Amino acid sequence: GAVVSQHPSWVICKSGTSVKIECRSLDFQATTMFWYRQFPKQSLMLMATSNEGSKATYEQGVEKDKFLINHASLTLSTLTVTSAHPEDSSFYICSAPRTSGGPAQFFGPGTRLTVL
């Protein structure tokens, strides 16, 4: 079946550095991908919608200059956390719709980011 992968699965970085997280659809094309963030003991929150070939759409309260999203191909979206700070430490998950515009979603395994 369709699979969404994420890389890396975990990353530890120093405060002030930038971290790139990749989300790939392995055997299907995704014109749209979604990025979520989950803080400990909290539910997932949608951060942004990544659109292939156009700018990402960010949810209210999410800084687009801090969380850079690039959807360069139909199978790859990247989230770059720029100038990361300890409060950015979280679990980042992506998902991709099974079919374009459809409600069914495949989820990536997530990336745990720890900023020291």
Partner 1 sequence: KNEVEQSPQNLTAQEGEFITINCSYSVGISALHWLQQHPGGGIVSLFMLSSGKKKHGRLIATINIQEKHSSLHITASHPRDSAVYICAVVGGATNKLIFGTGTLLAVQP
Amino acid occupying residue 94: C
Q: Which is nearer to partner 1, 45 or 68 (CB)?
A: 45
Q: Rounded to the nearest whole angstrom, what is the least distance from the CB of residue 16 to partner 1 in the complex? A: 25
CA distances from 34 to 83, 102, 109 (A): 22, 13, 13
Taking CB under 8 A as the binding criterion, the range among 12-20, 42-50, 61-69, 71-79 that sits at the site for partner 1 is: 42-50
Q: Which of the residues 75 through 94 are near partner 1 (CB under 8 A)?
A: 91, 93
Q: How many CA atoms lie within 13 A of 38 on its CB side?
A: 13
Candidates 31, 38, 89, 114; binder of partner 1 (CB under 8 A) is 38
Q: Which residues on neighbouring strands pair with residue 91, listed in sequence order?
A: 38, 112
Interaction between residue 49 and partner 1 (CB under 8 A): yes
